[in-house]
Amino acid sequence: MVNKSEIKEHTQVVASCGTHVGVVDHLDGERIKLAKSDPESGGKHHYIPLEWVDKVDANKVVLTKNHEEVFSGWQEA
């Protein structure tokens, strides 16, 4: 499990395949809320469970799921 304090606002979120899926707006409990201003969001906030996070490095959050799984499984606000 990733230390959620490592996940910072405005950090890029990428799927396991390397595809950009969003930008962190903020943490909401055990979920990451993605910014609705990001082009991938379609103008809506989306939520990704923290258990999907594989690792966090200096400039991105990497997920355990590929982009198709992310886009079909994320929750809309």
Cβ(2)–Cβ(50) below 8 Å: yes
Quote the CATH superfamily of domain 4-76.
PRC-barrel domain (2.30.30.240)
For 74, counting Cβ atoms within 10 Å of its Cβ (0-12 exposed, 13-18 middle, 19+ buried), the class is: buried
- DSSP label at 74? P
What is the predicted pLDDT for the residue at 2? 85
Instruction: Compute mean pLDDT per 10 residues along the chain, 77 residues long, and list them.
Output: 90 98 96 95 95 94 98 94
What is the predicted pLDDT for the residue at 77? 82
What is the predicted pLDDT for the residue at 58? 81
What is the predicted pLDDT for the residue at 24? 97
pTM across the whole model: 0.94
